[in-house]
Amino acid sequence: MLQAWALEGIPEITPGTDLVSVIADAAAGTLLDGDIVVVTSKIVSKAEGRVIAADDREDAITSETVRLVASRVTPNGGTTRIVQNRLGIVSAAAGVDASNTPAGTVLLLPLDPDASAREIATGLRTLLGVAVGVIVSDTLGRAWREGQTDSAIGAGGVHVFEDLRGGVDAEGRPLVVTMPCVADEIAAAAELVKGKTARLPVAVVRGRADLVGDLDLPGARSIVRSLANDMFRLGADEAYADGFAAGVESVTS
């Protein structure tokens, strides 16, 4: 049976906060071997001092962007940019967050969410003596679907995929490509109990101890699809513009 609950008692996180101690105190001895602790990336960023002064969030987004995927003007005159950030993640606004931060500041994603997750997992295992895994989550949109869900951007001591390839389905048919991204599924399940406005940034998911393993397991970076295998590298308008420009160049050259 899968269980998920949020940890209460997490205080406001500031640069330098020891997240391991804070989470251990909030868990109050309830963690067991095989539990997966899901930590919202926002508090990881705050603890790591990823808060920067920025009167213009757009400038911060630009600095975190390595590739523009699509850009659209919104009805209110603003601009929405879908970009690939330095972590390889394709998302709106490069993960730059202006909510729940002091006025005149924005929050950047952790420099290395996998390393952050492994550090927290290592600390909890050492301090509490329980073999837990850690997922660092962030909210992402999805192509073709409205709304957002939480996804894993960092993982420590957790299998991020459940590789079913080579097995068979219930009818005995071979599974060729089936590889659920269980880290994303767990991050989304945790968000159901954390919520967006309840100030509950850490949750525990119990019931998938089979996914908890060595600290050197591949992290969430392995979830990001390579550019060579990305069938949707550009937005529709951007792809059309590139193709049109290439056609004009071939005609005039």
| Cα separation, 171 vs 134, whole angstroms | 35
Amino acid letter, 86:
R
4 strand-pairing partners: 205
pLDDT-derived band at 38, boundaries 50, 70, 90: very high
Query: Given this model, what pLDDT does residue 177 score?
Result: 66
Query: Given this model, what pLDDT does residue 46 score?
Result: 95
Q: Where are the alpha helices (DSSP H) in the chain?
A: 19-27, 41-47, 57-64, 113-128, 182-194, 236-252
pLDDT in tens, 195-247: 777 789 999 999 999 999 999 999 999 999 998 988 888 988 888 888 888 78
Query: Given this model, what pLDDT does residue 87 score?
Result: 94
Cβ burial, residue 141 (10 Å; 0-12/13-18/19+): middle
- In the three-class reduction of DSSP (H, G, I as helix; E, B as strand; rest coil), residue 226 is classed as coil
Measured from the Cβ of residue 142, the count of other Cβ atoms closer than 10 Å reads 10
Residues 176-195 have a mean pLDDT of 90
Q: Which of 46-55, 81-90, 99-108, 203-212 has the lowest mean pLDDT?
A: 99-108
Would you kindly state where each structural domain of the chain is located, as residue ranges? 3-50+109-252
| Cα separation, 205 vs 39, whole angstroms | 11
How far is residue 218 from each of residues 115, 155, 188, 251, measured CA to CA in Å? 11, 8, 20, 47
pLDDT-derived band at 100, boundaries 50, 70, 90: confident
Query: Given this model, what pLDDT does residue 50 score?
Result: 95
pLDDT in tens, 137-174: 999 998 889 999 999 999 999 999 987 777 777 777 87
pLDDT-derived band at 176, boundaries 50, 70, 90: low
pTM > 0.75: yes
In terms of Cα–Cα distance, which of 239, 143, 206, 211 is closest to 6?
206
| Cα separation, 89 vs 7, whole angstroms | 28
Q: Which of 20-24, 124-128, 173-177, 215-219 has the lowest mean pLDDT?
A: 173-177
Share the mean pLDDT of the chain.
Answer: 91
Query: Given this model, what pLDDT does residue 166 score?
Result: 72
pLDDT-derived band at 190, boundaries 50, 70, 90: very high
Architecture of the 3-50+109-252 domain: 2-Layer Sandwich (3.30)
Contacts of 240 (CB under 8 A, 6+ apart): none
Query: Given this model, what pLDDT does residue 152 score?
Result: 98
Measured from the Cβ of residue 29, the count of other Cβ atoms closer than 10 Å reads 9
pLDDT at residue 49 is higher than 80: yes
Contact (CB, 8 A) for 143 and 231: no
pLDDT at residue 61 is higher than 70: yes
pLDDT-derived band at 102, boundaries 50, 70, 90: confident
Query: Given this model, what pLDDT does residue 92 score?
Result: 92
